[in-house]
Structure 1
Amino acid sequence: MLIYIKYMVSSRCKMVVRQELQKLGLHYANVDLGTVEILENITDLQREQLHKNLKVFGLELLDDKRKIIIEKIKSVIIEMIHYSEEMPKVNYSDYISEKLGYDYTYLANTFSEVKGITIQQYIILHKIERVKELLLYDEVNLTEISYMLHYSSVSHLSNQFKKVTGLTPSFFKKLKEKRKGNLEDL
C-alpha cells in the first residue's frame, strides 16, 4: 500500500517518518520523495494515529490526489536543484514527467491550477534560492554557478536573479560581506 506524506526531502524527515511507522508496527519497503510504501494494509486507526504523530513534526498525510501530485512535483524540483550533484541533461519537463510517470501537460496544468504559478516559475524561484546559497558559501564564482544550474550565460542568470530578488548577484554578495563585517565588529 502506498501512502503520501508531505515533507521535505531530507534525511531528518525520512528518519522521523520511519520512526513513526515503526512505533505503529508498520513495515515499509521505501520512504522517498514524499511517498511511503507500506508492506501491509493500514487500518483507519493506524492512519489516524500516523496523521496525528506526523503533524507534531510539521508533516502532513495527504489524501487529495491533486495535492499529492503537487507535492511530488515540488519534491522532484527541490531534489533536482538543491540536492543533486548535477542538473539533468534533458529538459526539465521531460525529467519531471519521466520521474513521476505522468504526461507533462497534465502535471503543468494541475500545478498551475493549484499553486497559481507555473512549474517553470517554481523552478526559477528555486534556482535563484540555490544561487543565493552558493553565493553565500563563496566556494564558486558566478560563472561556475551559471554553468552548474544550466543558465545559458552569466548575464541570463544575473537578469533572472535581479528580476526575482530586485538585487544583482554581486550586490547580494556584498550585502552578505557587509553583514559579516558588522557581526565581527561586535
Structure 2
Amino acid sequence: MTTLFVKNMVCNRCILVVQNELEKLDFKIKNIRLGEVTLENDLTSEDKQKIENVFEPLGFEVIDDKKGRIIEKIKNTIINLVHHQEQDLKTNLSDMVSEELHHDYNYLSNLFSEIEGTTIEKYFIAQKIEKVKELLVYDELSLSEIAFRLNYSSVAYLSNQFKKVTGLTPSHFKQVKEDKRKPLDKL
C-alpha cells in the first residue's frame, strides 16, 4: 500500500481528475480525498515517474518530503473546512488543525509560516474571503447570513476583513464581481 500526497488537489473535480488518471494507468485506489490518495499496491520508482508525468501537465504535483506533506495537509484541512462542509464554522482552528494532523499546533504554525511565508490564520482568512466572494457571486444569501455561516461575529467585522483583503467592500465587489475570484490552489 502507498499513500501519495498531491499538491493542488483542492476540490471534488480535482479528486475526479486524479482518480481517472490513476485508473487509466491501472492503479487500484483504496481511498482518495483532498490532497491524498492511498493505492492498494506499493509503487516502484518507475510507477512514481509515470504518475508525475501524467500529473504535471494537469497542475498536480506528488509531494515526497515530509514537511511538504504536512503543509499540504494543513491547506487541505482548511479548504475542506471552509469550502466543502455545510455546517457553520464554529470550530477553533488551532484545535481542529492540531487534531487532524496529530501534531502540536505551535509546530504546525511555525512550519507553515517558514515554508509558505504566511501564517495559518492568514491562509484561513484568505480561504474564508474566497468563500464570501463565492457566496456573493451566487447572490443567494444576505451578507448577514454569510457572516453567520462563516462564523463572523458581525457583518461589520466581515466587511472590514473583506475590505482589508480585497480592497473592496462586499457590496462594491458584488457590483464588479467578474474576474475577482481566485482559484483555491493560487491562494
TM superposition shift of 1:99: 1.7
1:133 aligns with 2:138: no
More deviation, 121-130/16-25: 16-25
SS of 2:37's equivalent in the other structure is strand
User: Runs of 5+ in structure 1 lacking a partner?
Assistant: 178-186
Residues 81 and 87 in structure 1, CA contact (< 8 A), matched pair in contact too = no
SS of 1:85's equivalent in the other structure is coil
More deviation, 137-146/7-16: 7-16
Deviations 1:40-64 (A, max 9, x none): 1111111111110111211111112
Query: What is the TM-score when the length of structure 2 is the normalising length?
Result: 0.88
Aligned position for 1:46: 47
Aligned position for 1:96: 97
SS of 2:124's equivalent in the other structure is helix
Query: What is the TM-score when the length of structure 1 is the normalising length?
Result: 0.88
Aligned position for 1:183: none
Deviations 1:152-180 (A, max 9, x none): 11111111111111111122223349xxx
Aligned position for 2:13: 12
More deviation, 146-155/63-72: 63-72
Q: Please tell me the root mean square deviation across aligned C-alpha atoms, in Å.
A: 1.6
Equivalent residues in 2 for 1:134-149, closer than 5 Å: 134-149=135-150
Residues 87 and 150 in structure 1, CA contact (< 8 A), matched pair in contact too = yes
Whichever residue aligns with residue 80 of structure 2, its letter is E
Structure 1 residues 12 and 168 mapped into 2: Cα distance closer, same or farther (>3 Å)?
Answer: closer
Aligned position for 1:119: 120
CA distance in 1, matches of 2:5, 2:147: 34
Residues 11 and 34 in structure 2, CA contact (< 8 A), matched pair in contact too = no
- Name the one with the larger helix percent: 1
More deviation, 13-22/113-122: 13-22
Q: Aligned residue pairs: how many?
A: 177
- The structure number with the bigger radius of gyration is 1
User: Runs of 5+ in structure 2 lacking a partner?
Assistant: 179-187
SS of 1:40's equivalent in the other structure is coil
Residues 151 and 157 in structure 1, CA contact (< 8 A), matched pair in contact too = yes
Equivalent residues in 2 for 1:150-161, closer than 5 Å: 150-161=151-162
Query: Higher relative contact order by CA 8 Å / sep ≥ 6: 1 or 2?
Result: 2
TM superposition shift of 1:10: 2.4
